């Protein structure tokens, strides 16, 4: 007799067991002191950092995306840099006090966090979400991408073992292993899940927002980069090519389209070729468009995170040695224009802008196509123009004279190190921040009374009513002239009664 195993049922049971274990562990962990929490977080960050290279290689091999050495750097940002940014944050007990206004702030954990992990950054995002959850006395249950289960599970095993060795209760860090969409959907709706941290495609983020639970989700990042006429061209192009080729374009903040001022277009073209860019001919571009987007509006998943050589091979194009990115000259923006889409690969569109106004118009069109609220990059030596873009563009991050991919996640800038970048209400998100530990805290406030409010007794005439009464009485007596038969006190009583009735 053959026994048929229902994988979806097994996946659902695994999920329910994981949530229960995480909840039980979190009930213990929420009683830890700040010192105990910080000891756990440091141990996890150190262990994750030490395994950055091994897990970077594992992620690249399992997903078939990106560059192992670059994933190592992302793992280091997701462990060491994230730790450095949150290590001094108070997350236990009283975390703030306004002695003048007598308001005391107390931190409380959310409970159990559901962490949804993308295939593009599977191990670095797992490190990051685990660290910010543990720092805030939360437990985390992670649902990995189906194409990155093993590397994500291994990253979380490293975190869990380090946490337990540092004194944390067993079960705080959980990973689902059966790659079931149904289990992931039910995880987000589970009554013991208190918050969802969703990093992934639009459909997944929409599901998180539709779950009925509080959720931090992120939108797509169709990032334009403007090379303004005063930019240091050689340095700007070097940064852009380094950024676009980093991990084969899998960071959502990677530049997707260059907008180049016409006055420096020739200089930019020369610098691109010098830095390993291959500029397609008109004929090659037509072929490449079909590879990028066989179905209008949809990017071919076979190009995501792949090398320029592998992508060119799909188009039947042979690339010279040393090519790092592929560039197609473009003039239009739209769902039916493949080069204008978010490609998550080392494939670039290049637009020529007639002037500053035209550059803004092109950038806005690209953002409207799919990157609203995310990020924009600009290279310029004119600070006023950078500020002008920062004020006018509907994005949450404006990266100036740096690699957008690494800069947006805090690697080359002073932004908060994070692998989950909010797009604000521009992109349908609740926050425009780089999500971090502070977003996983409830802050309770104890407030002492510092002001007195004088409430009138029922039937008592207030000072304001007294003033109105006196004014009316004076007016009545004045109109009656010197009539001695009128008693002023009687008039006052009558007016007071009328004022009371009107104020009820």
The runs of H, that is alpha helices, within 166-257 are 181-189, 202-209, 233-245
Place of tokens 């563009």: 393
Token pair recorded at residue 237: 């192009």
Report the alpha-carbon distance of residue 122 to residue 259 in Å, rounded. Answer: 31
Contact 211, 196 (CB under 8 A): yes
Structure tokens belonging to residue 382: 């004119």
* 66 three-class SS: coil
Both tokens assigned to 217: 């989700």
The pairing of beta strand 103-109 with beta strand 441-447: antiparallel
Three-state SS for 21?
Answer: helix
Instruction: Give φ, ψ of 468 to 5 degrees.
Output: -60, -45
Tell me, yes or no, if 252 is annotated catalytic.
Answer: yes
Is 199 in a helix, a strand, or coil?
A: coil
The closest of 201, 193, 194 to 176, measured between CA atoms, is 193
Residues with Cβ within 8 Å of 26's Cβ and at least 6 positions away in sequence, in order, are 109, 111, 112, 137, 138, 139, 172
Give CA angle at 200 (399, 436), nearest 5°: 55
The whole-angstrom separation of Cα 52 and Cα 40 is 18
Other Cβ atoms within 10 Å of 86 Cβ, number:
22
**Residue showing tokens 């000072």:** 463
* Cα dihedral: 245, 246, 248, 250 (round 10): -130
Task: Compute CA distances 285 → 78, 227, 255, 288, whole Å.
Answer: 36, 22, 19, 5
Check: CB of residue 223 under 8 Å from CB of residue 371. Answer: yes
Pick the catalytic residue: 151, 159, 252, 423?
252
Asked if 135 and 86 count as a contact pair (C-beta separation under 8 A), the reply is yes
When computed from its CA atoms, the radius of gyration of the chain, rounded to whole angstroms, is: 31
Pull the structure tokens for residue 442.
Answer: 């409830």
> Which residue has 């946490």 as its token pair?
163
| Distance of alpha carbon 302 from alpha carbon 360, whole angstroms | 32
DSSP string, 387-415: HHHHHHS-EEEEEESS-HHHHHTTSSSSS
Helix 383-392 and helix 356-370, axial crossing angle in degrees, nearest 10? 40
Active site residues: 252
């Amino acid at each position: 007799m053959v026994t048929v195993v229902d994988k979806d049922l097994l996946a659902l049971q695994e999920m329910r067991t994981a949530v229960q274990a995480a909840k039980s562990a979190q009930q213990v962990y929420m009683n830890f002191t700040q010192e105990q929490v910080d000891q756990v977080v440091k141990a996890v960050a150190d262990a994750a950092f030490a395994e950055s290279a091994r897990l970077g290689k594992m992620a690249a091999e399992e997903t078939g995306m990106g560059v192992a050495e670059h994933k190592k750097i992302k793992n280091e940002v997701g462990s060491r840099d994230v730790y450095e940014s949150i290590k001094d944050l108070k997350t236990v007990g009283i975390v703030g006090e306004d002695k003048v206004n007598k308001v005391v702030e107390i931190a409380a954990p959310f409970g159990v966090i559901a962490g949804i992990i993308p295939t593009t950054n599977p191990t670095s995002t797992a490190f990051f979400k685990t660290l910010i959850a543990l720092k805030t006395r939360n437990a985390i249950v992670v649902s990995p991408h189906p194409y990155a289960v093993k590397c994500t599970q291994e990253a979380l095993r490293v975190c869990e073992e380090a946490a337990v060795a540092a004194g944390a209760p067993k079960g705080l860090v959980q990973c689902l292993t059966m790659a079931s969409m149904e289990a992931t959907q039910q995880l987000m709706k589970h009554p013991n899940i208190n918050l969802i941290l969703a990093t992934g495609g639009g459909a997944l983020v929409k599901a998180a927002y539709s779950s009925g639970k509080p959720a931090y989700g992120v939108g797509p990042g169709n990032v334009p980069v403007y090379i303004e006429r005063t930019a240091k061209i050689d340095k700007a192009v070097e940064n852009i090519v380094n950024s676009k080729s980093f991990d084969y374009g899998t960071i959502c903040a990677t530049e997707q389209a260059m907008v180049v001022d016409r006055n420096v277009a020739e200089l930019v073209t020369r610098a691109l070729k010098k830095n390993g860019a291959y500029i397609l001919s008109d004929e090659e571009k037509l072929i490449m468009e079909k590879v990028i987007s066989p179905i209008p509006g949809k990017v071919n998943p076979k190009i995501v995170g792949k090398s320029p050589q592998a992508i060119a091979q799909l188009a039947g194009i042979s690339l010279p040695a040393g090519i790092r990115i592929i560039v197609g000259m473009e003039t239009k923006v739209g769902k039916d224009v493949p080069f204008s889409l978010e490609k998550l690969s080392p494939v670039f569109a290049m637009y020529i802008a007639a002037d500053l106004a035209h550059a803004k118009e092109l950038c806005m069109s690209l953002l409207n196509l799919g990157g609203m609220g995310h990020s924009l990059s600009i290279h310029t030596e004119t600070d006023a123009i950078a500020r002008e873009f920062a004020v006018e563009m509907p994005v949450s991050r404006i990266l100036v004279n740096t690699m957008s991919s690494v800069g947006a996640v805090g690697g080359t800038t002073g932004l908060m190190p994070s692998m989950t970048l909010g797009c604000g209400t521009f992109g349908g998100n609740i926050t425009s921040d780089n999500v971090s530990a502070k977003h996983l805290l409830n802050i309770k406030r104890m407030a002492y009374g510092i002001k007195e409010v004088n409430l009138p007794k029922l039937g008592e005439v207030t000072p304001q009513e007294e003033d109105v009464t006196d004014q009316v009485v004076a007016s009545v007596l004045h109109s009656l002239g010197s009539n001695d038969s009128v008693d002023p006190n009687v008039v006052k009583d009558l007016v007071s009664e009328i004022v009371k009735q009107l104020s009820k």
